[in-house]
Structure formats: C-alpha cells, structure tokens
Amino acid sequence: MLSTNNHFQFTNNPNTTIRCSPYTHNTNNDLVQKIKTYATANQQRGRRNSSYLSRFPVLSNNLSGEAVVLVAKKICDWVVQSNINGKNQQRINLLPLEKMEKGVLEILDTIMKWILDDMNEPPFILFVGIYLADKYVNRVGVRQSQVLWLILTSCIIAIKMYSDSQNISNINIAHKFQTSTKNLLKMESEFLTTIGYNCYVEESTIIAFLTSIYMEHICNITDKSSMLFSLIQQQQQQQLQQQQQQQQN
C-alpha cells in the first residue's frame, strides 16, 4: 500500500516491504533529468533496439520527462474514481491527494530506475505500460495498495511485447521486488485476461493517450480558475451591495 513513512507494503506478502528513497520536492526534477540523460546516452551508445526505433520513432527521440508528473496525477485519479464508483470491493479511506501523488511518484521513480538500470530499456516503456494499465483499470478499477504491482506488471508485459532484449527473467524481477515468480505469473495472467490479451499498441495511440492526460490536466486547471474567478466576483458583488446599503442608511 501507499505509505506515509516512505515505504510500500506489498499486498502479496504482508510481512515484506521494499524501501524507497524518501520523497522530496526535487523528485520530479530528478526523474525528468534522468530521462533526458538516458535519451542522450541512447543516441551516443546506440542502446535502443530496432523494434523500438521502428515502432516508436517519435517517442524514442522526443519523450518529455514532465509527462511523468501528469501520469502520476492520472494514476491518483484511477484510485479515486475506482473508490467512488464502487469498482473496489469496498470503499476505503484514501490518502490525502497530495500524499497520494507523492507516493505514486515514488512508485514511478522505483519502476523507472528498474526499467533504465536493471532492464536497460528506454524510459518511454513506462508510458506504454501506463497505457495498458489504464485499459485494465477501466474494466476492474484499482486500489491504492495495488498501484505498484499494477504498474510493474503492465511494464513487464510491455517489455516482453516490444523489446528485442533477452534479459527478461521473472526470477530476477521477483528477487528485485521481493516477491515470488508464482505471484508475478499470477498477476500477469490476471492482467492479460482482464484486458482480453489486447496488448497491441501503435505509437500514435500512446501519443494520443498522453495528450488526453495533458488536456484533462489543463481542463482541471481551467475549471478551478473559473471557479476561483466566480467566487471573487461573488465576493466583490457582496461587498458592493454592503457598501450601497451602508450609504443608504
């Protein structure tokens, strides 16, 4: 589950935890810089494989690290909407939104480090995984205690689908995240069954998905700004009415 004391408790084994670095206000910038650095290194060292270059040419060269922050907000929205709409088995008390976003960013940072450092895959594989996870959530929802496992599972599937790498070992992944290969296979099977084994993704689809997240964010900001402006107008009108009444008296 997402925790306020900087660690995540895995639902498959209540007695096992994985330690993550405490969140600071610099996490966003660190993750953004990490993505930019990896993209530069890729161009210099030729680490990207032919499948990625042919299937995702735009994302391979123009990924914006800032998208991670918007994706974190999208994931929080998954949890909130699943809880409100009754997709979870029972409604639970969620973390305050700000703390939830911090926890989700820790999760994304953990997954991104695994993708870059352990799997030697390009960073945009995270966004392919997020897109697949969105399809899963639209069908069955997600609890805040499942977020880490959901994103990990979707990224494992994305790598297996679109990477030429032979460096995909469930044993190593299970060791890294302190779980068992049985649990990993069970989660993969459940995930694939839920989305109907439909993992085919075009680059244009991922770009459209990220664009929609951005537009949702802009609309939310616009709505909040309009609401704030409306409240200010109401207060000004009330003050004007009070002044007029005082003058009449």
Average predicted confidence (pLDDT) for the chain: 74
Contact 126, 155 (CB under 8 A): yes
Q: pTM to 2 decimals?
A: 0.68
Both structure tokens of 12: 């498959």
Going from N- to C-terminal start, the domains of the chain cover: 7-198
pLDDT at 63 over 90: no
At 90 the pLDDT is 57
pLDDT digits (tens, 9 = 90+) for 21-47: 332 334 445 555 555 555 555 544 444
Contact 148, 110 (CB under 8 A): yes
At 44 the pLDDT is 44
Side chain identity, residue 211: T
At 26 the pLDDT is 41
Q: b or e along 114-123 (b: 16 or more beta carbons within 10 Å of the residue's beta carbon)?
A: bbbeebebbb
Residue 14 DSSP code: T
pLDDT at 229 over 50: yes
> Of the given ranges (120-129, 163-172, 188-197, 225-234), which has the lowest mean pLDDT?
225-234
Compute the distance between CA of residue 82 and CA of residue 144 in angstroms, rounded to an integer: 9
Compute the distance between CA of residue 200 and CA of residue 155 in angstroms, rounded to an integer: 14
Compute the distance between CA of residue 109 and CA of residue 151 in angstroms, rounded to an integer: 11
pLDDT at 158 over 90: yes
Top pLDDT among 150 and 236 is at: 150
Contact 149, 107 (CB under 8 A): no
Please work out, in degrees rounded to the nearest 5, the angle formed at the alpha carbon of residue 147 by the alpha carbons of 144 and 148. 130
Residue 88 DSSP code: S
The fold of 7-198 is: Cyclin A; domain 1 (1.10.472)
